[in-house]
Amino acid sequence: MHRIPVAAAFVLAAGLARADTYAVDPTHTFVHFEARHFGISTLRGRFDRKEGTIRFDRAAKTGRAEITIDLASVSTGVVALDDLLRSPDHFNVAAHPTASFVGERFGFDGDKVREVAGTLTLLGRTMPVTLAATNFNCYTNPLFKREVCGGDFEATIVRSQWGMTRGLDAGVPDRIRLLVQVEAVRQ
């Protein structure tokens, strides 16, 4: 009865041993969000501080991505709106300073990442989110002389699933589009 899990653990360990570790490049990793405003125009904001690590095995087509966003770094270009978003009515950064995405299932299209399925933890709740790739590529950065992998990913989340319900009755949309730029440098 114990033999199968032990064997499985060896296979998993071997798989992880082959995976390379990539450090998220904070200068080319951003999460932008989009929300329709008054039903007529699209408001865009972003988070400026984040960190993360990605383990990625292109040959085995496996990976694990962990990205943590500092919610207090929200930036819309309008100070009063940033303050409102940080308040207990929205991100409640005093109680929940970060949001984190953990992606554990990498879907591939050939040797390119097509999607990353995982979970997003926000306001203390963890719910499934799948990021769909619109761009993916690996290249050798001429400055670092290292391999960099990255791309653009999108997801539309329903904020009430994380208990973010403020403004729903006033027409602030429940559906928020996320535009995620990621580049990570092989360590």
Partner 1 sequence: MITPTRLAWMLLAATAVAQAAPTAYRLDPDNTRVHFEVLHFGTSTSRGRFGGVAGSIQFDAAARRGEVSIEIDTASVSTGLAPFDSVLRRADMLAAQAHPKAWFVSRRFVFDGDRLVGVEGDFTLKGITRALVLRTGHFGCQPHPQRQRELCGGDFETELKASEFGLTYALPFTSDRVRLVIQVEATRD
Binding site for partner 1 (CB under 8 A): 27-28, 30, 32, 37-44, 46, 48, 75, 77-78, 80-81, 135-139, 141, 148-152, 170-171, 179, 181-183
CB of 98 vs partner 1, minimal distance in Å: 17
Rounded Cα distance, 64 and 22, in Å: 10
Considering the complex, state which of residue 35 and residue 117 has its C-beta at the smaller distance from partner 1: 35
Burial state string for 66-96 with b = 16 or more CB within 10 A and e = fewer than 16: bbbbebbebbbeeeeebebbbeeebbbbeeb
Considering the complex, state which of residue 37 and residue 114 has its C-beta at the smaller distance from partner 1: 37
CB of 175 vs partner 1, minimal distance in Å: 15
Degrees to nearest 5, angle at CA 45 with 116 and 176: 55
Of 24, 49, 46, the residue nearest 179 (C-alpha): 46
CB of 137 vs partner 1, minimal distance in Å: 4
CB of 41 vs partner 1, minimal distance in Å: 4
Considering the complex, state which of residue 162 and residue 184 has its C-beta at the smaller distance from partner 1: 184
DSSP β-bridge partners for residue 146: 141
CB of 77 vs partner 1, minimal distance in Å: 3
Q: Which two tokens stand for residue 22?
A: 């990539």
Backbone φ, ψ for residue 16 (5° rounding): -70, -35
The residues near 80 (Cβ < 8 Å, ≥ 6 apart) are none
CB of 170 vs partner 1, minimal distance in Å: 8
Considering the complex, state which of residue 82 and residue 174 has its C-beta at the smaller distance from partner 1: 82
Considering the complex, state which of residue 17 and residue 80 has its C-beta at the smaller distance from partner 1: 80
Rounded Cα distance, 37 and 23, in Å: 35
